Amino acid sequence: MEQLRAYLEGRFKEIPGWCHPQLFQTIQPLDQLQRRHGVEGPVCEIGVLKGKFFIALMKLKQARPHYAIDLFSLERRDFDQGGRGHLNKFRTNIKRNGGNLDDVRILERDSMEITRRDIDRILDDTDGGFSMFSIDGAHTAEHTIHDARTAMALTRPGGIIFVDDYYNANWPGVQEGVCRLYFIDSPPFVPLLETCNKLVLCHRSYHAEYLDYVGDFVTRHFPDSRVKQVKRFGFDNLTITVNQETGAALAPEDDEPATAEAAA
């Protein structure tokens, strides 16, 4: 956590991107819960741009390899003119922030081209999938649905999936895709909370515990953030509104949940 704290207080601000440091008010307790349950695994992001959020997630997880999926130089496939990643700058930012490029698998491709064979290969390469998965690629409804299904297939049951721009009016395809997915199907990962422009999903089996712990954690440690209980697609959820001007990104490290064995 100290590596993440140093990054958020330092070079995080220097990397272009649309990620608020206060997002980690909710990621910190989720990481604690994953460690409590022994949920290990690397991280993956579809749509890494220059690595701002990807590097932060890397600093939370010791497992390898991480995966970065982006169009990068494939300009003809920039479907929604939302921008592509910058491969050289992405690599440079990883190295400048203490990362090892040997720990990262870079897939330069349209995420819609990921097949069942690719999924099986990645599951084998990561020894069972990812602990955290960020979706921030093409913002069409079709891409959102496909990327969400890919993320669910590649994320461990105790893992977390982030869907960027869910409430962003400039990218209505994201919300349309999520709504279509939950209206026509009953996926194993369901909405948990929304904060900092991201919809956060977790597995149904962990939903109640994650919801209670995160809500309590944010309320105790970040009094300038507003935690509101809502319903999304029939599931109890949280909407967490942070103070982007004065809100801290992380709580003190000494507040850790008890392990399952200790709690017993």
Q: What is the pLDDT of residues 14-42, one digit of tens each?
A: 999 889 999 999 999 999 999 999 999 99
pLDDT band at 72 (very low <50, low <70, confident <90, very high): confident
pTM for the model stands at: 0.93
Whether the per-residue pLDDT at 260 is higher than 50: the answer is no
Average pLDDT over residues 71-97: 75
Give me the residues paired with residue 155 across strands. 130
Burial of 121 (0-12, 13-18, 19+ CB in 10 A): exposed
Q: What is the pLDDT of residue 261?
A: 45
Higher per-residue confidence, 185 vs 86: 185
Average pLDDT over residues 188-196: 99
pLDDT band at 255 (very low <50, low <70, confident <90, very high): low
State the CATH class of domain 2-252.
Answer: alpha beta
Q: Where are the domains of the chain?
A: 2-252
Q: Which residues contact 43 (CB under 8 A, 6 or more apart)?
A: 54, 57, 58, 60, 61, 66, 67, 130, 131, 132, 133, 134
Whether the per-residue pLDDT at 256 is higher than 70: the answer is no
